[in-house]
Amino acid sequence: MTVLALTGGVGGAKLALGLAQVLEEKEVVFLVNTGDDFEHLGLKISPDIDTLTYTLAGIENRTTGWSREGDTLNFLSALEELGGETWFRLGDKDLALHAMRTNLLREGESLTGATAHICSALGVKHQVLPMSDDPVRTVVTTTEGALPFQEYFVRRKCEPAVSRIDYEGAEAARLNPCLKLDEISSVIICPSNPYLSVDPLLSINELSEFLRNTSVPVVAVSPIVRGMALKGPTAKLMKELGFEADARNVARHYQPFIKGFVLDHQDREYISDVERLGLQATALQTIMRTLDDRIELAKQVLEYCSTAFAN
């Protein structure tokens, strides 16, 4: 039996790394958001897959959490000199990953196959699966109009207020065929942005139906602590969408899909509110500064899954 971890960018990858440290290769599968994927300079870029791949390979940039540690920007500086688009930061080594993926896809490989090739080359043994091999594209409707995800997130630095988020292609997208839902023993929604990272996953019908109907534990870990996002624009976005940015509203957001909710010790006062949603809830140390923090949270979430929902 296998733990299914749903994850997006940097925040989710922290817990994913913890899970990969405590679970064997066959014991966990990472299903990754591809709503952020886009094409840039002819390259097929999958930011969340790459963040997880680099993190699991131990070569992620320690400062940003994304891209590669010790990368150089010689390509980008030469591109700037030539008048090219440089708003999306592409390191020289990072570029090789995108070129490799683009080439594999051009040769007819699926995104799943290309991801497996790259993971294998970088020594990542755990299974990293794109949520779908079909394109799903997150589009953010803002005060400046509808923006493709990376235009909003990177180019406009999440500044325009958001009124609506769509996941284009989601209705037709098939869940990754390599994911064996009948082998899943529990599901962990990692502390990624609920709207930008996890909702694209939940927008795939086969996955959301599975989560709604399964009898296995489904547990989400809050990315919000004391009303603030540990990383990224989650809190700002919640306010723009009309929700108070606190862990309770994250639980409410996930309520149709989950059975248990993990919030931070600092938010333990909200446990009874979450329980009133018909969910189980527990408070853990969710802030992960060190590798030990990641491992410890992974252990405790797994422990929670295996004990709190026993019949």
Residue 82 CA to residue 2 CA, distance in Å, equals 49
Contact status: 108 vs its own copies (CB under 8 A): no
For residue 291, the minimal CB distance to its own copies (Å) is: 23
CB of 13 to its own copies, least distance (A): 19
Span near its own copies by CB under 8 A; candidates 91-99, 133-141, 219-227, 264-272? 91-99
Residues between 18 and 47 that touch its own copies (CB under 8 A) = 41-43
Q: Is residue 208 part of the contact set for its own copies (CB under 8 A)?
A: no
Compute the distance between CA of residue 120 and CA of residue 112 in angstroms, rounded to an integer.
12
Q: Decide: is 81 part of the binding site for its own copies (CB under 8 A).
A: yes
Of the two residues 94 and 133, which places its CB atom closer to its own copies in the complex? Answer: 94
Interaction between residue 78 and its own copies (CB under 8 A): yes
110 with 104: CB under 8 angstroms?
no
Distance CA 297, CA 277 (A): 24
Options 1, 58, 64, 77; binder of its own copies; rule CB under 8 A = 77
User: Which residue blocks in 176-290 are alpha helix, DSSP H?
Assistant: 199-202, 205-213, 234-240, 247-254, 271-275
In angstroms, what is the minimal distance from the CB of 248 to its own copies? 44
Per CB under 8 A, does 148 bind its own copies? Answer: no
Q: Which is nearer to its own copies, 95 or 295 (CB)?
A: 95
For 306, other C-beta atoms within 10 Å of its C-beta total 13
Q: Contacts with its own copies: how many residues (CB under 8 A)?
A: 33
Q: Rule CB under 8 A: is residue 158 a binding residue for its own copies?
A: no
- 125 contacts its own copies (rule: CB under 8 A): no
113 lies in the site for its own copies, by CB under 8 A: no
**Of the residues 122, 154, 277, 308, which one makes contact with its own copies according to CB under 8 A:** 122
- ∠ at Cα 34 (161, 242), nearest 5°? 25
**115 burial class (0-12, 13-18, 19+ CB within 10 angstroms)?**
buried
The token pair at 125 is 């043994």
The yes or no reply on residue 93 touching its own copies (CB under 8 A) is yes
Strands (E) across 35-93 are located at 38-40, 43-45
* Integer angstrom CA distances of residue 17 from 27, 155, 260: 13, 28, 21
Q: Is 69 in the site for its own copies (CB under 8 A)?
A: no
Q: Which is nearer to its own copies, 68 or 137 (CB)?
A: 68
C-beta of 125: minimal distance to its own copies in Å? 16
For residues 121 and 161, which CB has a smaller minimum distance to its own copies in the complex?
121
Integer Cα distance of 6 and 26 in angstroms: 16
Alpha-carbon span 240 to 147, nearest angstrom: 16
Contact (CB, 8 A) for 18 and 296? yes
Does position 116 bind its own copies by CB under 8 A?
Answer: no
| Site residues for its own copies per CB under 8 A | 41-43, 68, 71-72, 74-79, 81-85, 91-97, 99-100, 102-103, 106, 117-118, 121-122
